[in-house]
Structure 1
Amino acid sequence: MRHTLPIAPQFYVTAPQPCPYLDGRMERKLFTALQGDTAEKLNDALSLQGFRRSQNVLYRPSCADCSACMSARIKVNEFAPSRSQRKTLRKNNDIARVANSPWATEEQYALFRSYLDARHATGGMADMDIFEFAAMIEETPVRSRVVEYRDRSPADESEGDLVGVCLTDVLQDGLSLVYSFYQPEMTAQSLGTFMILDHIEIARAAGLPYVYLGYWVPGSDKMGYKANFNGLEIFKSGRWQDIGNPSDHSSETHPLSVEPIAEQVARITLPDQRSTDK
């Protein structure tokens, strides 16, 4: 029997850069490496505390003048689609889901480029080449899936055109949508909403209580859509709570809402990092 010594994760802070969500703000992240035998336990534990995964890094916004980015998740058992969301489901009856291991393809990258060029041409991923894309998909130390969505309309005799992709982590308590993209020309299909609705059904079938959506940001048009899903919780003031009225959270954009970095790190609860090999 071999025991590995427990090693506490080290936390770091990125240099400030322009915020992609709120004009005139500067973004800063608190992050730690995700690696080794205890990667899944750390991912589960920190996801419960508002962190998100990007390849082999876990991060959480930790800006000096703002705390508006709040991790959001849907309570699966309390979710019921709205009228417009039911309409979205009907419009996508011909879309089929195919779940694969985290492996990047040229077809995925072509769709990814179309999506970026149409919707995020000036964003941080705009210059991502196929090798960087492959790293985003494949470099995962945790249980992940690439969920593809294909249009299999009656007139399509092939396997179906790839119209959407979601890189999804399987957590102990739910599904985490790490990154998704879709055919930008199919605006009438509301594919982004459809993929979230489908993940809610995947989680329900698997008996998982939550679907993690990333960050909700009050005042951001890019992130405001997440408040359209009922049963939504946000991680605020160190705990998960119902979002309630979205307008009640505007104070989070104020500098006085921010805790010092040292206090933020001191409040993080870490899992038992010990692992045992038999």
Structure 2
Amino acid sequence: MSNLRTLVFFATPPHDCSYLPDREATTMFVDPRANIDKKLYSQLTALGFRRSGSHYYRPHCEHCNACIPVRLKVDDFQPDRSQRRVLQKNGDLECTMVPATFDERYYRLYADYIEQRHKDGDMYPPSREQFTSFLVDGATDSWFLEIRLGDELVGLAAVDMLDDGLSAIYTVFNPEQEHRSLGTYAILWQIEEARRRDLPHLYLGYWIRECRKMNYKTRFKPIEALREGHWRALDVN
């Protein structure tokens, strides 16, 4: 079994940054041959790594530190007025956690979401192979949060269980249900699920101040950022 002392890391060549168009990025990956169990995955996440399928990675850019790992302290979180409205608006939804696996219903929801909302992103055009390699492969105590309106699947969130929290991997939803703010709702649900499981944190991936698409993360407070090896309160002013 691998551990932090025996892990081998690789860095990609510089490539165009997906978030800041005027910059180059370098990504550090854990050796894909390593055997990553839940304990080691939890340790890597606390060090700022993320999971994409069977790959564990962290930005490693020589001249840029814009990508900041962030997490929520769930016991201290209190929804603001806007978030309370989202909860009230979605009181008619039913949520269920199921093991992460391929299902044609999940893929169709994912594909519609990518095709209608992210045609300018790296995941366009969607494919079944892409869905599987991104959200199913490499699963380690990994789950899908099904969000249903009656019999209709309207949202799907990929969630990993860690020793000290949950990791919010990705959320998709029916674009026709945009008025429900299902991305926000999925995070709120995961906060409550972490509380139910007596887990202190919800990891939200990376935050970039200059990237408007990531602004939503700092609406959840109190939020912490990993800087110079320490988790500290994030000041977004």
Q: TM-score, normalised by structure 2?
A: 0.94
Q: Residue 251 of structure 1 corresponds to which residue in structure 2?
A: none
List per-residue Cα deviations over 1:14-53 (Å, max 9, x = no partner): 1222222222111211110366655222211111111101
Aligned residue runs from structure 1 range 28-47, under 5 A: 28-33=26-31, 38-47=36-45
Distance 1:64 1:122 in 2: 26
Indicate the percent of aligned positions where both proteins have the same amino acid: 36
CA contact (8 A) 1:97 1:147 kept: yes
Instruction: Could you list the structure 1 runs, at least 4 aligned residues long, displaced by more than 4 angstroms after superposition.
Output: 4-7, 34-38
CA contact (8 A) 1:34 1:42 kept: no
Q: Residue 208 of structure 1 corresponds to which residue in structure 2?
A: 199
Is 2:161 the partner of 1:177?
Answer: no
Distance 2:176 2:31 in 1: 37
Residues 5 and 95 (structure 1 numbering): CA distance in 2 closer, same or farther, change over 3 Å?
closer
CA contact (8 A) 1:35 1:56 kept: no
Is 2:78 the partner of 1:80?
Answer: yes
Distance 1:53 1:38 in 2: 11
Distance 2:9 2:71 in 1: 24
Distance 1:222 1:5 in 2: 35
Following TM superposition, by how much is the alpha carbon of 1:209 offset from its aligned partner in structure 2, in angstroms? 0.4
| Amino acid in structure 2 at the alignment position of 1:10 | V
Distance 1:187 1:93 in 2: 16
Q: Residue 222 of structure 1 corresponds to which residue in structure 2?
A: 213
Residues 76 and 223 (structure 1 numbering): CA distance in 2 closer, same or farther, change over 3 Å?
same
- Number of positions where the alignment pairs a residue of Structure 1 with one of Structure 2: 236
Please state whether the residue corresponding to 2:84 is helix, strand or coil: helix
Residues 38 and 117 (structure 1 numbering): CA distance in 2 closer, same or farther, change over 3 Å?
closer
Distance 1:22 1:122 in 2: 13
Q: Residue 257 of structure 1 corresponds to which residue in structure 2?
A: none
Q: Residue 25 of structure 2 corresponds to which residue in structure 1?
A: 27
Please state whether the residue corresponding to 2:212 is helix, strand or coil: coil
Please state whether the residue corresponding to 2:125 is helix, strand or coil: coil
Distance 2:225 2:2 in 1: 35
List per-residue Cα deviations over 1:82-134 (Å, max 9, x = no partner): 00000000000111111111111111111111111122102111133112212
List per-residue Cα deviations over 1:208-236 (Å, max 9, x = no partner): 00001111111110111101011111111
Residues 76 and 139 (structure 1 numbering): CA distance in 2 closer, same or farther, change over 3 Å?
same
| Amino acid in structure 1 at the alignment position of 2:51 | R
CA contact (8 A) 1:34 1:43 kept: no
Q: List gaps (5 residues or longer) in structure 2.
A: none
CA contact (8 A) 2:114 2:126 kept: no
Please state whether the residue corresponding to 1:196 is helix, strand or coil: helix
Question: Bigger radius of gyration, 1 or 2?
Answer: 1
Residues 150 and 141 (structure 1 numbering): CA distance in 2 closer, same or farther, change over 3 Å?
closer
Q: Residue 253 of structure 1 corresponds to which residue in structure 2?
A: none
Residues 35 and 63 (structure 1 numbering): CA distance in 2 closer, same or farther, change over 3 Å?
same
Q: TM-score, normalised by structure 1?
A: 0.80
CA RMSD of aligned residues (A): 1.7
Residue in structure 1 matching 2:92, options 69, 85, 94 = 94
| Amino acid in structure 2 at the alignment position of 1:209 | P
CA contact (8 A) 1:72 1:216 kept: yes
Distance 1:213 1:237 in 2: 18
Please state whether the residue corresponding to 2:158 is helix, strand or coil: strand
Residues 85 and 188 (structure 1 numbering): CA distance in 2 closer, same or farther, change over 3 Å?
same
Distance 1:167 1:178 in 2: 5
> Quick one: higher RCO (CA 8 Å, sep 6+), 1 or 2?
1
Q: Is the deviation greater in 191-200 or in 25-34? A: 25-34
Distance 1:35 1:96 in 2: 39
Residues 5 and 101 (structure 1 numbering): CA distance in 2 closer, same or farther, change over 3 Å?
closer
